[in-house]
Structure 1
Amino acid sequence: GLPCIVGTGNGTSMLHTGDEVTVSCAEGAEGHVYPGILPFDVERIDAGGVPTTRTKIMLIVGDPTRAFALAAIPNAGVGLARTEFIITNDIGIHPMALAHYPALGDAAALKELAARIGHEDPREFFIRRFSEGVGRIAAAFFPKPVIVRMSDFKTNEYAALVGGREFEPSEENPMLGFRGASRYFDARYAEGFALECAALRRVRLEMGLTNVKVMIPFCRTVDEGRRVLDVMAAHGLRQGEHDLEVYAMCEIPANVVLAEEFLKVFDGYSIGSNDLTQLTLGLDRDSEAVAQLFDERNSAVTWMVAHAIAAAKRIRKPIGICGQAPSDYPEFATWLVQQGIDSIALNPDVAIKTAVLIAQAEREAATSPT
């Protein structure tokens, strides 16, 4: 893909059409824009020489069209398959708009929706495209596990889909609003979640891709988790049936404080360090005013992560991480190994070099005195 830097502040006023610059995303958390075309070296690594590790090195995958190419990278599966890419690029229509078609109040959205789906049944349009996208990722990595996160758009992102404004509330802070698990059994989105469940049921039962595990994002309470599992079961995705495992994102302080209670409901945890950081430090990572304070390596955040790992270990449930931190900070990845995390999901571009560091950290841990 192309390197991209966001949040540059005055970048658009400083740069002009025709300017030659070098955009670098190779320095970690912060990108850099250099004047002129700078020379660079390409380091090639023999994938066959990547060391094996106790910690499972998994990938973060969003674009199904890249899945088969990414599967060539040494990996233990997909630790996070983002369904938002599929909904945005392959579907483009709000699930509730498809569920309620043609009874929409927005005439322009109705016209665009009709043009996109043609003569296909609107619900089948969603189920087919969603299942094809997820199925492509699952097939590329089969039989390795592929953990598919159910949709985790915020309301402003859902509203940007065709027909979305009719079904989404306007919120002051969508990051903390109507998102995640609470949507799935709410009348304002329940029919949309039913379509997601139908698509995953097709992937697992009709396509035979039973390596797919389901992950529930932003689950605020244990009871919320139980209610989501009940809804999934009603739509043919029953936990434990056909070996279906259901994980939860560990990304809210409550998920750490009550980790053992949540893990009695779910089959495993995946730490979402992005949201866990902002909620632990009490900041909005979308706000430029406090963006400089966002750091997953903050001691309060590492305390939360360490306690989540320890809780999962106590009750023998798998726990991994799928946030940005291990991809951005190699030292954070090695620290996770020291804590005994089971798996680390990484951006594909850093998976190999991080695997080398993790192997080294595991060797050092094995030889250090206890």
Structure 2
Amino acid sequence: MMKAIGRNLIIEKIKEKQRDGLESVTIDCSEGQPRIWLKNVSYDYDSIEFVQLPHTKTQVLVNLGIPKGALSSGKYPDGTGLARLEFIINDEIRIHPNALIEFDSLVRRYGVLLDHRKKIENIKKSDLYHKDPFNREILKLKETIDTIREITTGYDDKEEYYIEKLAEGIATIAAGVWKVLPNGEIGECVVRLSDFKTNEYANLVGGWIYEGEENNPMLGFRGCSRYVHEEFQEAFILELKAIKKAREWGLINIVPMLPFCRSPEEAKRIIEIMEEEGLVRGQNGLKVYVMAEIPSNIICADIFCEYFDGFSIGSNDLTQLTYGVGRDNEKMIPLMNSYDYNTNSESIRRSVSHLIKTAHERNRKVGICGQAPSDDPDFLRFLIREGIDSISLNFDTFARGRINTWRTEIIESKLTEENKKNTYKFLDKCDNLIDNIRIPRGKLRNMVRKQRKEADKKLLEATEKFDNIFEEISEISYNFIRDLNQGDLKAFDKLYNKYDEKITKCEIEIPKLTEQIREFGIF
């Protein structure tokens, strides 16, 4: 097994092994650090009843992209904190918006190029004829036009195709997560407007016509800078029309969110454009949020509050822009951990703390939509102490994130500092024991599945014992926090000792069980 951090590094490792003749790869991205096996690996899973998850004061939301995913997973969280338009554009639309806006012009351009081509053909012996400067562009343009016609079949108005498909995707997500919360409010569906970078827009059909080379797309022509630029503003307006259409269908839980907004002046102009298109803050309950992912968003948080109703912290971009380090730079990854250029660092904590304080003083909400709270329990504790309003996680970490948030809220609000330390230490012990038995338990369960009715009696007994101790440890950690919440905190030591005794028995039992399963080839 190889361990790696950063998607670019993972891709390079896979390509390297493919050149060596590797046929199978298994990638596990279910936890904070991706893991890669250079072979087929059997896997195990546990089913979770989401309705049984404890409720939290801090909203635990889910990140969504593909509209179909919202129909199956959207009803469980209290809303979505990040729905990315990029997924809808990539999967459903597939065409660069400017190629749709200027489709008729592209067709005329193709005709002009053909005329030039015919004139050159008449000059058989000229240098122009042999160099044929128009042929390559003619072929590429024809292919683009034909593809657009094929994809947009049934739509004479190509702009309407973009608006309609985008609105349908947004509406599907918003309908999927529609939920009346205990306080009577409708759970929000926060839709981040497009944040493709230049190289990503270039990959769309027709993108080659409009997107040039950019040395550092991460810091270039992206986010709100596109929206206010004459080359892209019409495309941005199509997104606004799609948002408006979806809300007019009754999905008033949709909250548009702006990405990568560099300055208050940029924010002011964006809000003006939105108002011109009929999206006015406060009308029909419309809120507008902004990503807090640039140091200027933090430094000028008080001014940004004049234009937005809430913030969503993009911890990855905020971290790399605060420290001036690319998060996918292979050489920098070990340094990021060694020298604290990471999310759970003093600089980022101070930034987040300042943002929450400034926003709350002005009655603005603050959430976070990165994986940091799920991957780092210590950072989650910090966020809860600071009073963050919501945490939005990928669906595969939602259950764990909800449980950890519930735990943290109780511990931080009820216990003394000394008792907090002991409680977190106890929970870490429980979680580590579960992690230690997860793999051998999974292997046993997979062996039983393969053998089915022919499974050995000893194998079945061993599997049952591992299942029982897995459930017992889970119940111990849950019941301890539940009793802390409901009981007399003056009797903390007595309660702690009671549950510590239970978990110690599990600690003693696990090595015995592990020894017993060696006969099945599990180590």
TM (norm. structure 2) is 0.66
Cα displacement string for residues 241-300 of structure 1 (whole angstroms, at most 9, x for unaligned residues):
111100111010000001111012111111111110110010122433324426222322
Alpha-carbon spacing, 1:201–1:53, altered in 2? closer, same or farther (3 Å): same
Cα displacement string for residues 86-115 of structure 1 (whole angstroms, at most 9, x for unaligned residues):
001100111111111121253432222122
SS of the equivalent of 1:86 reads: helix
- One-letter amino acid matched to 1:32: R
Instruction: Say yes or no: does 1:136 pair with 2:139.
Output: no
**Counterpart in 2 of 1:25?**
29
**Counterpart in 1 of 2:422?**
none
**Counterpart in 1 of 2:273?**
231
**Counterpart in 1 of 2:242?**
199
Asked if structure 2 preserves the Cα contact closer than 8 Å seen for 1:102 and 1:110, the reply is no
**Counterpart in 1 of 2:59?**
56
Instruction: Say yes or no: does 1:164 pair with 2:207.
Output: yes
Instruction: Say yes or no: does 1:260 pair with 2:302.
Output: yes
Q: Percent identity?
A: 38
- One-letter amino acid matched to 2:45: V
CA apart distance, 1:172: 0.9
Moved over 6 A (4+): none
Alpha-carbon spacing, 1:72–1:139, altered in 2? closer, same or farther (3 Å): closer
**Counterpart in 1 of 2:71?**
68
Instruction: Say yes or no: does 1:323 pair with 2:350.
Output: no
**Counterpart in 2 of 1:123?**
159
SS of the equivalent of 1:103 reads: helix
Instruction: Say yes or no: does 1:114 pair with 2:118.
Output: no
Distance in 2 separating the partners of 1:336 and 1:295: 15
Asked if structure 1 preserves the Cα contact closer than 8 Å seen for 2:60 and 2:392, the reply is yes
CA apart distance, 1:330: 3.1
Alpha-carbon spacing, 1:228–1:20, altered in 2? closer, same or farther (3 Å): closer
**Counterpart in 2 of 1:179?**
222
CA apart distance, 1:230: 0.6
**Counterpart in 1 of 2:92?**
90
Asked if structure 2 preserves the Cα contact closer than 8 Å seen for 1:333 and 1:354, the reply is no
Q: What is the root-mean-square deviation in Å for CA atoms of aligned residues?
A: 2.0
Distance in 1 separating the partners of 2:197 and 2:209: 15
Alpha-carbon spacing, 1:221–1:20, altered in 2? closer, same or farther (3 Å): closer
More relative contact order, 1 or 2 (CA 8 Å, 6+ apart): 1
SS of the equivalent of 1:327 reads: helix
Cα displacement string for residues 205-233 of structure 1 (whole angstroms, at most 9, x for unaligned residues):
1x110110110111111111010011011
Alpha-carbon spacing, 1:268–1:188, altered in 2? closer, same or farther (3 Å): same
Alpha-carbon spacing, 1:130–1:305, altered in 2? closer, same or farther (3 Å): same
**Counterpart in 1 of 2:45?**
42
- One-letter amino acid matched to 2:351: M
Distance in 2 separating the partners of 1:64 and 1:300: 36
CA apart distance, 1:135: 0.4
1:281-292 mapped onto 2 (5 Å cutoff): 281-292=323-334
Distance in 1 separating the partners of 2:255 and 2:269: 18
Q: Which runs of 5+ in 2 are unaligned?
A: 1-5, 110-140, 179-185, 418-523
Distance in 2 separating the partners of 1:22 and 1:147: 33
1:322-341 mapped onto 2 (5 Å cutoff): 322-341=369-388
**Greater mean alpha carbon deviation, residues 270-279 or residues 11-20:** 11-20
CA apart distance, 1:125: 0.6
Structure possessing the higher radius of gyration over alpha carbons = 2
Report the number of matched residues: 364
Distance in 1 separating the partners of 2:295 and 2:7: 30
Cα displacement string for residues 188-219 of structure 1 (whole angstroms, at most 9, x for unaligned residues):
101101110111110001x1101101101111
CA apart distance, 1:39: 5.1
CA apart distance, 1:40: 4.4
**Counterpart in 1 of 2:312?**
270
Alpha-carbon spacing, 1:12–1:278, altered in 2? closer, same or farther (3 Å): same
**Greater mean alpha carbon deviation, residues 303-312 or residues 328-337:** 328-337
**Counterpart in 2 of 1:14?**
17
- One-letter amino acid matched to 1:352: A
Give the number of the structure whose residues are more often helix, by fraction.
2
Cα displacement string for residues 124-180 of structure 1 (whole angstroms, at most 9, x for unaligned residues):
110111000000000111242100011001111111111112222321111111111
Instruction: Say yes or no: does 1:244 pair with 2:286.
Output: yes
Asked if structure 2 preserves the Cα contact closer than 8 Å seen for 1:330 and 1:354, the reply is no
Alpha-carbon spacing, 1:284–1:369, altered in 2? closer, same or farther (3 Å): same
Distance in 2 separating the partners of 1:10 and 1:78: 33
SS of the equivalent of 1:232 reads: helix
CA apart distance, 1:324: 2.7
Asked if structure 2 preserves the Cα contact closer than 8 Å seen for 1:61 and 1:78, the reply is yes
Distance in 2 separating the partners of 1:20 and 1:119: 42
**Greater mean alpha carbon deviation, residues 31-40 or residues 276-285:** 31-40
Distance in 2 separating the partners of 1:60 and 1:126: 23
Asked if structure 1 preserves the Cα contact closer than 8 Å seen for 2:8 and 2:328, the reply is no
- One-letter amino acid matched to 1:256: I
Distance in 2 separating the partners of 1:271 and 1:284: 18
